[in-house]
Amino acid sequence: MIKRLGDGWAAVAVWIAIQLTLTSLPGAAIPVSLNHPLDWIGHFGLYAGLGGLIARVASLRGWPRRNLLIAAAFITLGAALDELHQLFIPGRDAEVLDWLSDTLGAIAGLTVGYQLMKSRLAKWLR
C-alpha cells in the first residue's frame, strides 16, 4: 500500500479531496463567486490538474497509453456525478457547461501531463 501511494496516488487523493471540499461548500460559504466564463476556467483548471496528476501516475506505473482513455472516461463520469451532487447543496446547481469544462480540462491535463512525463522535465516530476 505504501508503494502505491508513493507512485503518485497520494497526490491524486489529496487533489480529489480538495475538489470535493470545494464543490461541497454551500453557495453562501463561497467567498468569491465567479461568473461565466471565469467559472468555466476554474472548472477547467481543477480538472486539468487532476488529469495531469493521473497522467503522472500512468507514467510512473507504466500504463499503456490506452489506459489514459479509460482514465478520461472515469474522470468525466466523476465530474458528472460531482455536478449532480451539487443539486443537493444549498445555493449550488448543476450545469452541463460546467461538466463540459471539467471534461475538457481533464482531457487537456491527461494529454499535457502525458507529454510532460515523456519530456526531459520528467526527471523533475517524478
**Residue bearing the bigger pLDDT, 23 or 123:** 23
More confident residue, 122 or 27: 27
Cβ neighbours of 76 (radius 10 Å): 18
**69/86 Cα distance (integer angstroms):** 26
* pLDDT (tens digit per residue) in 37-81: 888 999 999 999 999 999 999 998 999 989 999 999 999 999 999
Q: Where are the domains of the chain?
A: 2-125
Residue 91: per-residue pLDDT: 87
Q: What is the pTM of this model?
A: 0.88
Residue 59's closest CA among 102, 21, 115, 12?
Answer: 115
Write the CA distances from 122 to 13, 33, 52, 101, integer angstroms: 21, 36, 12, 27
Cell readout for 90 is: 444549498
6: confidence class by pLDDT, cuts 50, 70, 90? low
Give CA–CA dist 86/10, Å, rounded: 25
Closest by CA position to 79, among listed 57, 53, 97, 59: 97
